Amino acid sequence: MSLAPGTETDLQNRFRSHFCGRLNTEYENKQVRLAGWIHRNRDHGGLIFIDLRDHTGIAQLIIQPEKQELFQKVERLHVESVIAVQGTVVKRSEETLNSRIPSGAIEVLVDDVQVESHAVALPFPVADELQTSEELRLTYRFLDLRREKIHQNIVFRSQLISKVRRYLEDHGFMEIQTPILTASSPEGARDFLVPSRLHPGKFYALPQAPQQFKQLLMVSGFPRYFQIAPCFRDEDARADRSPGEFYQVDMEMAFIEQDDLFEILEGMLRYLTETMSTKRITQFPFPRLSYRDVMNRFGSDKPDLRVPLEMQDVTELFVGSSFKVFASNTKEGSCIKAMVLKGRGTESRQFYDKAEKRARELGAPGLAYVQYREEGPKGPIVKFLSEAELSALQERLAIETGDVVFFGAGKWEKTCKIMGGIREYFSDLFELDRDELSFCWIVDFPLYELDEKESRIDFSHNPFSMPQGEMDALDTMNPLDILAYQYDIVCNGIELSSGAIRNHRPDIMYRAFEIAGYSKEEVDKRFGHMIEAFKMGAPPHGGIAPGLDRLVMILRDEHNIREVIAFPMNQQAQDLMMSAPSDVSRLQLRELHLKLDLPVETAEQEPG
């Protein structure tokens, strides 16, 4: 375990003069005071050895047999008991050196022990990284946090936040806190609501993000804002998303264009990577890929560029084909996608059956494929394809003997997403470099999409992004062809954040909403405070908010976000340690002018 250098100098008191992990041969024959937890203890024929652990690491203590009083104090102590000791640093003998820890060349001969806390038997071990159920780990999270790996994750997180602040302040940003109790927003995820005691029947909402506040700060004349912002969304858990709350590096800048923001964020991510990890960034500046391009090539707007698989469009090869499944998908709005898996043309039938099962789970009717073997093309659809089509495929896709090509056909977006899911499924076949950070920007998102159920135009993502071409584009272009100044930052298939150059002009905002079917009165009702602010002089501005938890997860090589959060909830949005959410008393409900209307199956749990 590590601690920032020098921080021990102002911590000398009756408990300690030094930290365990800082001791080395320079301290030989010096008296020291140490304090911490008993990590391990061993009785070797009268000598008691104790590994004492503090925040910086471990030091080995020796209690000699002639110290009978000390023996009696420590011999029955459980591991994780807290003690403070005084003793003399000595060199270890050659045969007892421990090169695995920084203090492995010394040990401390103990002269005095004070037992500060007797630990009971533990529900799981701290010293050994044994597999432990998540329920047990979260119930005793304070104990889990003592384990070296997760302890270091939290130390790392703290240090990373410090470096983020330093970098942004050095680039002219000011840290400004925005409200936690705010108004509910009709857009986005589900809000967490807080009832008001002073205003019966009314509710605050915890912010899903400081979006509106940070834009109003730009209107207020602050040029560059940032905040390590807590955000609250009542949504389900995933491996890379914590239920309930998360933190983001929220930032906004006035008088900028898209390239200005890219330069700032790329610089920050490069600085953090180079100073906080041994990982390396694949390409700098980060590549910029359009939304249409990544969907066509990877079937996802958050592609892992380390995976050496790409889709190719082969629609034109099957115009007029006798294979009706393909021929019927050569019209506008549909497509045929192909993806070559090198050297997998001779896999077992089970291999293809599993891939087809995954395709069905993704919403496809099946998964067509052609194997190019020594004896010629094989596969379920080969009999429907002409020799000319098979040859054209082989030439277009540079297929070699031993390869297999998979196909998807249908509506463009759905087909791209299904084939993207198959690409992700096959990614396990490749040994990806875990030390490679393949960042990329996804740009040129469409401003609108067609809601086929409602047969109307709607915003595809963020209604407050500035349209590319501004008012002229809104007045002259097909809405489905209008692009937005909106962007995502992606790393190794994980979306770190979305951002945008904002629409700061009321006239353009009204027109953009009008195309999506909203009247001026509706816009004023929902977003009137923002419109009013923009009418009083708003600078061009834009921002982004990379997820702090996800960034730590990537840099620490963790697969689950709960490993980088000190006190996370479980997948059911419960804090097992604090027993939250919990019942409240009738008095508390009465003060808030609330009555419960519980589902029948939980009615008996109503507080008494």
**Residue 63 DSSP SS3:** strand
What is the β-pairing status of strands 106-117 and 57-63? parallel
E strand or H helix at 194:
strand 193-195
CA dist., res. 137 & res. 131, Å (int) = 10
Beta bridge partners, 32, equal 87
CA dist., res. 513 & res. 520, Å (int) = 8
Predicted local confidence at residue 5, as pLDDT? 44
Q: In terms of CATH, what superfamily is 137-279+543-608?
A: Bira Bifunctional Protein; Domain 2 (3.30.930.10)
Structural contact between residues 592 and 197, judged by C-beta atoms closer than 8 angstroms:
yes
- List of residues 6+ apart from 156 with CB closer than 8 A: 276, 552, 555, 556, 564
Please state which architecture CATH assigns to domain 7-117: Beta Barrel (2.40)
> Cα-flanking dihedrals φ and ψ of residue 447, to 5°?
-75, -35
- CA 473 and chain centroid, separation: 35
**Residue 481 CB neighbour total at 10 angstroms:** 10
CA dist., res. 359 & res. 368, Å (int) = 10
> Cα-flanking dihedrals φ and ψ of residue 128, to 5°?
-110, 130
**DSSP secondary structure letters along 454-491:** TTEEEESS-TTBPBTTHHHHHHHS-GGG-BBSEEEEEE
Core vs surface per residue 41-56: b (16+ CB within 10 A) or e: beeeeeebebbbbbeb
Where are the alpha helices (H) located in 307-462, listed in sequence order? 324-327, 349-361, 387-396, 412-426
- Nearest Cα neighbor of 406 from 460, 362, 468, 442 is 362
CA dist., res. 139 & res. 537, Å (int) = 52
CA distances from 441 to 11, 469, 607 (A): 45, 20, 50
CA dist., res. 211 & res. 218, Å (int) = 11
Structural contact between residues 482 and 468, judged by C-beta atoms closer than 8 angstroms:
yes
226: its two tokens: 């940032």
CA distances from 547 to 102, 180, 494, 554 (A): 34, 18, 10, 11
CA dist., res. 100 & res. 95, Å (int) = 14
**Residue 74 CB neighbour total at 10 angstroms:** 21
**Residue type for position 196:** S
User: Which ranges in the chain are annotated with CATH 3.30.930.10?
Assistant: 137-279+543-608
What is the β-pairing status of strands 448-451 and 439-443? unpaired
Structural contact between residues 577 and 140, judged by C-beta atoms closer than 8 angstroms:
yes
Structural contact between residues 249 and 405, judged by C-beta atoms closer than 8 angstroms:
no
Instruction: Count helices and strands (H / E) in the chain.
Output: 16, 24
Structural contact between residues 32 and 23, judged by C-beta atoms closer than 8 angstroms:
yes
396: its two tokens: 């277009």
Rounded average pLDDT per 10-residue block, the chain, 608 residues = 46 88 93 96 85 94 86 89 96 89 92 95 91 94 95 97 98 98 80 94 94 96 98 84 91 98 98 96 97 97 97 96 94 95 90 95 94 91 94 94 96 96 96 96 96 87 93 97 97 96 97 95 90 96 97 95 94 93 94 91 56
1: its two tokens: 């375990």
The CATH number assigned to the domain with range 307-431 reads 3.30.1360.30
CA dist., res. 130 & res. 465, Å (int) = 49
Q: What is the dihedral of CA 68, 70, 73, 75, to 10 degrees?
A: -70
User: Which ranges in the chain are annotated with CATH 2.40.50.140?
Assistant: 7-117
Structural contact between residues 409 and 329, judged by C-beta atoms closer than 8 angstroms:
yes
User: Which ranges in the chain are annotated with CATH 3.30.1360.30?
Assistant: 307-431
CA dist., res. 47 & res. 51, Å (int) = 13
* Gyration radius from the chain CA atoms: 30
CA dist., res. 83 & res. 54, Å (int) = 11
Beta bridge partners, 467, equal 484
Structural contact between residues 102 and 57, judged by C-beta atoms closer than 8 angstroms:
yes
Predicted local confidence at residue 602, as pLDDT? 61
CA dist., res. 462 & res. 492, Å (int) = 24
**Residue type for position 557:** D
* Full strand arrangement of the beta sheet holding 486-491: 174-175, 224-233, 244-254, 541-544, 494-501, 486-491, 439-443, 288-290
Structural contact between residues 62 and 80, judged by C-beta atoms closer than 8 angstroms:
no
Phi-psi region of 172 (alpha: psi -120 to 50; beta: other; left: phi over 0): left
- CA 346 and chain centroid, separation: 37
